[in-house]
Amino acid sequence: MANTHTSTSRYAQEFGAASSETSAARPRKGAAGRTAGVIRQEKLAPLSERLRKLGLVSDWDFVLHLPLRYEDETRITPIGRLNPGEVQQAQGTVERSGFVATPRGQQFSAILSDGTGRLQLRFIHYYPSIQSQLQPGKTVRVFGEPREAFGGGLEIVHPRIKPPVSRTDNLPQALTPIYPLGENIQQKWLRKRIDRAMLDLQVEDLVPVAVTERLGLPRLRESLEYLHNPPADASADALRDRTDPHWERLKFDELLAQQISLGETRRLARKAVALVLAPRADANLIVRFREHLPFALTGAQERVWKEIASDLARPEPMHRLVQGDVGSGKTVVAALAALRAVEAGYQAALMAPTEILAEQHFKKLVDWLTPLGIRTAWLTGRLKAAEKRRALEEIASGEARIVVGTHALIQDGVRFENLGLAIVDEQHRFGVAQRLALRTNGAAGVESESGETVEADANAAKPHLLMLSATPIPRTLAMSYLADLDVSVINELPPGRTPVTTKTIRIERKNEVVALVRAVVAEGRQAYWVCPLIEESEALDLTPAVQAAEELQRALPDLKVALLHGAMSAPEKEAVMTAFASGETDLLVATTVIEVGVDVPNATLMVIEHAERFGLAQLHQLRGRVGRGAARSACLLLYGGELSELGRERLKIIRETTDGFEIARRDLQLRGPGEFLGERQSGMPLLRFANLETDGALLEAARREAERWLREDRDRALAHARRWFSAKAEFLAA
Ligand code: ADP
Ligand code: MG
């Protein structure tokens, strides 16, 4: 049954709603509902609209619309020799055909034979014309992937149907390109449209010959012709894997366009004006702050702070990402930056992705800064109306010099007196738009008399932006998606920490783990126990956190066990966290709400139940909750059931390395960049052709060439980028 799904979705992707190519099956006007059974004619958006959805507007867009794959229609296979699971072409005469009632609706079925065997054709979606098209006695050519049918023999679901050929030299001589299709757009039509665009367009190669020669890549026209119409002897593997030099050329062009766009975005951002937050001779906040800190900054923290301070003193907005593994001490660096803003007479805001984390930051900052006479405000969506009003007033009047909060900080109604610096913690949890919004809220705070917000003057000074992340982004990704940021890395942990020991243990040995918890607590330490799910789920055989907490309390009657999960109210969560942080609770049983940022140095044991269900980044974050003090810490990964290949691999990576960058790199290998980053994070179209994992060398080349090109002939470089992204996004406008 799994196959049905595959063929249906592939069918939807490649064929829009119509499966057949002959004119009889092509819908006249009006489109196609995709429910099972006969395809209904519905009102269709105009063709140009439907094409626009695919990004197809100009001739260029068509020319750059490259095949998903190719089909070999140069041969006909006798039905008796068809191989299941392989896309092939057959030709035969319809023995019988008709509608069949199934539980999923009415289907259409036909039996085709050619003297060597019989083949069933099955249609879950079809046009009424299918009946005449597959009338008994007719000879047709069919193309598709046969598989074992329920009742024995082979069947093809949604084959493409073509007119028969009498001689094999009437068959196509080249591989047939299969293009990505949209709603009710036909392969054959699109193929013709692309051919025409190739003829109409000069396909001027904007990339200088010197560049393609340097890289040993073919010219553009040649590459496009080859990819749209590869010769029959083209290497199917090289085409499929996109390692063919003609593919390489197109991937290079795409990466080049991306790097040019990023370079340009970056240049424009640099042109904006920002407040100058320079040290002042009469201010000594930072000096006093550092005197009061119970520790000295690490070398890496010092270096990163210097980089930030120098950005802040410049009249263009800082746009810097601080990457540092969990526990590397990013918060104190952020606090220094905030103090620099305060010293200079401006406000600073710190936004965190969760309530717990924002709260921790708030408490820490209040601890650090109240003795220095600095007022810090607190803003979340959960404040009572009166509290919220007061916070907003403090922020607007400037009484609060530093504001800490959640998303609430970027919601309407938040107006700063004079925001100089916006800090976003765990920036990967926010989308690009959100992190930029914090800065805009600060700059755009002018209200007209009618109470409407007036757009800030484009020339108004912008606050600086500092982002913190514990999710290290591998170099190829950073080059592609964060190239508009400057990146600082805190590559050193505070001294006196012993590395966390990681072990994987079968869940059957849980008793031994419980005993270890008891021993750890007996030494005056604390432990975390993380469960993947809060509610009982029969579908997934997971121990729910509630049940786990009860069980553990029963097994460890002398210990204080507490439960923390996402469905609890904010005050409940807060109470639990406070009790744990103060050492009142010994064991914290939690769902992944503690994943990010929680800081309790006395906790030295992390148990993760059903670790195989977690992502690598998540496991690394969770493990980072321990090993925060000088005591020996351990992380135990409990797994159950039969591990998949991937599951085994993931646990192995976590066990073998504690280096966040290395984990991220291997995570990228396992998952690919799309999922790693998420569309939301990238804030720009993901690449269509190039693959950051395998095309690292091309990316490096593209970056070099983009820089050179922008320097030497900016207009032409921008023309190249526009060509690639014209219909895809408001890319250059961003
Ligand atoms: P993260 O980078 O994961 O956000 P934090 O900023 O929460 O890390 O810091 C982790 C812990 O290390 C905190 O308890 C913090 O006070 C402490 N810390 C930070 N810098 C230093 C340092 N230079 N020396 C000792 N401890 C430090
Ligand atoms: Mg942190």
Between 171 and 190, residue with greater pLDDT:
190
Ligand 1 centroid to Cα of residue 298, in Å, is 10
Please give the average per-residue pLDDT across 601-616, as a whole number. 90
Ligand 2 centroid to Cα of residue 597, in Å, is 4
Residue 365 in contact with ligand 1 by CB distance below 6 A: no
Closest-lying ligand to the alpha carbon of 597?
Answer: 2
- Which of ligand 1's atoms lies nearest the C-alpha of 490? 2
The whole-number pLDDT of residue 266 equals: 74
Q: Could you report the per-residue pLDDT of 530-577, keeping only the tens digit for each?
A: 987 644 444 444 456 788 899 999 999 999 999 988 777 778 888 898
Q: What is the token pair recorded at 332?
A: 């104190």
Q: Is the dihedral of CA 445, 446, 449, 454 positive or negative?
A: negative
Q: Would the pLDDT of 692 be above 80?
A: no
Confidence of residue 525 (pLDDT cuts 50, 70, 90): very high
Q: Would the pLDDT of 630 be above 90?
A: no
Whether residue 628 contacts residue 327, with contact meaning beta carbons closer than 8 Å, is answered with yes
Residue 627 in contact with ligand 1 by CB distance below 6 A: no
Residue 628 in contact with ligand 1 by CB distance below 6 A: yes
Between 152 and 1, residue with greater pLDDT:
152
The whole-number pLDDT of residue 544 equals: 66
Residue 18 in contact with ligand 1 by CB distance below 6 A: no
Please give the average per-residue pLDDT across 176-193, as a whole number. 88
Residue with CA nearest ligand 1 atom 9: 329
Whether residue 596 contacts residue 590, with contact meaning beta carbons closer than 8 Å, is answered with no
The whole-number pLDDT of residue 671 equals: 67
Q: Of 74-78, 301-305, 385-389, 649-653, which one has max mean pLDDT? A: 301-305
Ligand 1 centroid to Cα of residue 628, in Å, is 8
Q: Would the pLDDT of 145 be above 80?
A: yes
Q: How many CA atoms lie within 13 A of 409 on its CB side?
A: 34
Residue 470 in contact with ligand 1 by CB distance below 6 A: yes
Whether residue 665 contacts residue 474, with contact meaning beta carbons closer than 8 Å, is answered with yes
Q: Would the pLDDT of 37 be above 80?
A: no
Whether residue 41 contacts residue 29, with contact meaning beta carbons closer than 8 Å, is answered with yes
Q: Is the pTM of this model over 0.85?
A: no
The whole-number pLDDT of residue 682 equals: 42
Calculate what percentage of the chain has a pLDDT beyond 70.
82
CATH for 500-657 (3.40.718.10, 3.60.20.10, 3.40.50.300, 3.50.50.60): 3.40.50.300
Closest-lying ligand to the alpha carbon of 629?
Answer: 1
Q: Could you report the per-residue pLDDT of 348-377, keeping only the tens digit for each?
A: 999 988 787 888 899 899 999 999 999 999
Q: Three-state DSSP class for 386? A: helix
Residue whose CB lies within 8 A of the most ligand 1 atoms, among 332, 466, 492, 594, for a mutation test? 332
The whole-number pLDDT of residue 31 equals: 38
Residue whose CB lies within 8 A of the most ligand 1 atoms, among 293, 325, 331, for a mutation test? 331
Whether residue 126 contacts residue 39, with contact meaning beta carbons closer than 8 Å, is answered with yes
Between 40 and 508, residue with greater pLDDT:
508
Residue whose CB lies within 8 A of the most ligand 1 atoms, among 304, 599, 628, 658, for a mutation test? 599
Residue 599 in contact with ligand 1 by CB distance below 6 A: yes
Residue 633 in contact with ligand 1 by CB distance below 6 A: no
Answer whether CATH 3.40.50.300 is correct for domain 285-448+456-490: yes
Confidence of residue 19 (pLDDT cuts 50, 70, 90): very low
Ligand 1 centroid to Cα of residue 283, in Å, is 25
| CATH 3.40.50.300 residue window(s) in the chain | 285-448+456-490, 500-657
Residue with CA nearest ligand 1 atom 5: 329
Closest-lying ligand to the alpha carbon of 621?
Answer: 1
Q: Could you report the per-residue pLDDT of 211-252, keeping only the tens digit for each?
A: 999 999 999 999 999 999 998 788 878 888 889 999 999 999
Residue 297 in contact with ligand 1 by CB distance below 6 A: yes
Q: What are residue 504's DSSP bridge partners?
A: 637
Residue with CA nearest ligand 1 atom 19: 329
Range of lowest pLDDT (14-18, 70-74, 246-250, 503-507): 14-18
Residue with CA nearest ligand 1 atom 23: 297
The whole-number pLDDT of residue 647 equals: 83
The whole-number pLDDT of residue 30 equals: 37
Confidence of residue 53 (pLDDT cuts 50, 70, 90): confident
Please give the average per-residue pLDDT across 389-411, as a whole number. 92
Q: Which fold has domain 4-44+73-174?
A: OB fold (Dihydrolipoamide Acetyltransferase, E2P) (2.40.50)
Q: Of 57-66, 595-604, 681-690, which one has max mean pLDDT? A: 57-66
Q: Could you report the per-residue pLDDT of 22-34, keeping only the tens digit for each?
A: 333 333 333 344 4
C-alpha to C-alpha distance for 86 and 154, rounded to whole angstroms? 12
Q: Could you report the per-residue pLDDT of 419-432, keeping only the tens digit for each?
A: 999 999 876 666 55
The 10 Å CB-count burial string (b at 16+, else e) for 203-221 is bebbbeeebbeebebbebe
Q: Would the pLDDT of 309 be above 90?
A: yes
Q: Would the pLDDT of 433 be above 80?
A: no
Which of 400, 421, 423, 412 has its CA nearest to residue 445? Answer: 412
Between 656 and 728, residue with greater pLDDT:
656
The whole-number pLDDT of residue 159 equals: 93
The whole-number pLDDT of residue 648 equals: 87
| CATH 2.40.50.140 residue window(s) in the chain | 4-44+73-174
Ligand 1 centroid to Cα of residue 297, in Å, is 9
